[in-house]
A and B are shown apart, each in its own frame.
Chain A
Amino acid sequence: MHAELALLNNCLVVGAVLFGLGLVGFLSRRNMLIMFLSAEMMLQGASLSFAAWGRFHNDFGGQTLVLFIIAVAAAEAAIALALVLTLFALRGRLDIAAWHDLREAHLPPPLIDEEGEQVEAAPPRPRPRLSPAGLPPPLPPDMEHRLRL
């Protein structure tokens, strides 16, 4: 096989594998932040394929497309992280399963393992003891889920 053809073939295979790994991450991970990260991984696979095709056809069209992909990924990151922060503040969890009540009513209950709901509470870390000074500030009631931070 010709050298350029072999390079194109290999790059397309690597791009396809990156896309597939991102797909698995997006479909089966439940943390919203990791779902976002997997979407970025799929974009990386597509970028690699575009750059490989651009090299094979010996023009800059592929690289131009990758540049646009990077710009769109930056915009997507801003929007997606703002949405994730909003969703987290509304339910207090990063779990996408917290939003399963948005499904249609006639669908069967979501497939979640029962033991998945029991969160393993880590033992509380010993905190440094300081001499008390002043008063603790009153927390607004909607911030209670951050008390454990």
Chain B
Amino acid sequence: MVYLVPFAFALLGYLMLSPIISMARDTWKLIAMTETQSQAEENLFTGKVFYEGDTIASSTIQFPRFGNQYGVLSIEGTNVDAPLYFGDDDAYLRKGLGQYAGSSFPGMGSTILIGGHNNTYFRDLKSAKVGAKITVDTNYGTYVYEIERMEVLRHNDKSAFDLASETENIVLYTCYPFNMLGLTPQRYFVYGKLVSGPRILLDQ
């Protein structure tokens, strides 16, 4: 019986440590990735773009692919000021905020859905107030949204947002409660309406 203890411990240890090993491996991958960036991880955002027109031709924009940083998002009255990536895989959420690839781009007249970790880049999302401005500086122009409301909803609540909306709006989210240790089914959503920014003409 006692000889089974070390064997059982080794087996349990392997099973239990696998997530840690996996996380360490993913972290190493992330470190390695930042040292040799592929084209997919190219940073398209090189600084604030001052564009004065009400519209912008789509053909003049270099749209991002998965993994490209294409902007910076900041929220008035908070410490939120983070890189914005297209795509919200774990690797990108560790480096900044991630736009869900199945949502719209700023300027396209629909819903922009952006997530971020509550212990890093969206740590101070909880400080956002109704009426405050969300500024999204992209590689093709600056967009400003005004916060209208906040809601705590389940992650799979289909009423949380409408990706088919024909009115431009921004939805930011992070896990809730903010300091809960453990997987949580709830998300803290912040909703904003468009205030300014050039409308993208997709057929030009």
A binds B: no
Q: Which residues of B contact A (CB under 8 A)?
A: none
Q: Which residues of A contact B (CB under 8 A)?
A: none
